[in-house]
Structures are given as structure tokens and as C-alpha cells.
Structure 1
Amino acid sequence: MDLQSRKISFVQEFLSIESEELISRFENLLKNKNTTLKNTELNSMTISDLNRRIDQSEDDSNKGRLTEMEDFLSEIEKWN
């Protein structure tokens, strides 16, 4: 089945759903997926931009402006 056929099939199935909760879950899934896609789009950068980022990272490292892995993982646990 090609993508267009799958979309049509999905929409037909979706239209038959009677559960408000299930519709809300699909809405949230779509919203989260669109946000994730927007956040993960890659933008090209020039060589000079890349070198500037590398220089900044090295400077941060040399001056101790780092986050230890354990601290970072602890912070991530607080996100949920």
C-alpha cells in the first residue's frame, strides 16, 4: 500500500472513532510530533560558524564552564 492510500485509510478509520479521549490522544500525539519535527530540523552552518562554536566550546572547557554528567542526568530526571 502506498503512502497516499495509507493516509486515506487512516483518515477513514479516524472518522469512525467515537471516543473523545482517543481523539484527544491523537491530537496530542500529532501536536507533539509536529513540535518534535520542528525542533529537530537541521540548519546548515558555515565553516566559520562551526569553528566559532568549537572555539567557544574549548574556551568553556578551559574555564571550567561544564556540567558534570551526573548533574546533567539528575537534572533530566526532574523534567518528568
Structure 2
Amino acid sequence: MDLQARKLEFIQEFVKLQSEEVITLLENLLKQKKSENNDSPEPMTVTELNTRISKSEDDFKSGRYKTSAQLLEKYR
């Protein structure tokens, strides 16, 4: 059975559920798995990394940055 067929079968079984407790458990599991996946950023390509480095260097040269002290003061 392929993934698409499994999803459809799951949906059909989910629609039949009458237990709010089971639905809540499934919702929580889904939220947990989604947040686990979102914690890991997508890796950058070498080109993207070099572009970001160049922009950061330009920002620094142009004075568009904050010092550690400024950041710490902002969040105290």
C-alpha cells in the first residue's frame, strides 16, 4: 500500500471516531511531530550560505548591526 492510500485509509478511520479523547490524542501527536520537524532548519546550499555571508559583511560595514550589550539590554 502506498503512502497516498494509507493517508486515505487513515482519514476514513479518523472520520468514524466517536471518542473525543482519541481525537485529542491524535491531535496532540500531530502537533508534536510537526513541531519536531520545524525545529530543524533546512540546510543551505553553498551559494545561499555565501550570499548570506556577503550580506552580513555588507551590513557590518554599513553599521547595520547591534552589539551584544545592545541585545542584552533590549531583553532585560
Quote how far apart the aligned CAs of 1:43 are: 2.7
Q: Which amino acid aligns with 2:38?
A: K
Over residues 3-59 of structure 1, what are the superposed CA-to-partner deviations in whole Å (9 max), with x where a residue is unaligned?
A: 110000000001111100100000000111110000023332748x7xxxxxxxxxx
Equivalent residue number for residue 21 of structure 1: 21
| Identical amino acids, percent of aligned pairs | 42
Task: Give structure 1 stretches of 5+ with no counterpart.
Answer: 50-80
Largest Rg, 1 or 2: 2
How many residues were matched structurally? 48
Moved over 3 A (4+): none
Give the alignment's TM-score, normalised by structure 2.
0.55
**TM-score (norm: length of structure 1):** 0.52
Provide structure 2 residue ranges, at least 5 long, that are not aligned to the other structure.
54-76
Secondary structure, counterpart of 2:39 in structure 1 = helix
1:2-21 matches, cutoff 5 A: 2-21=2-21
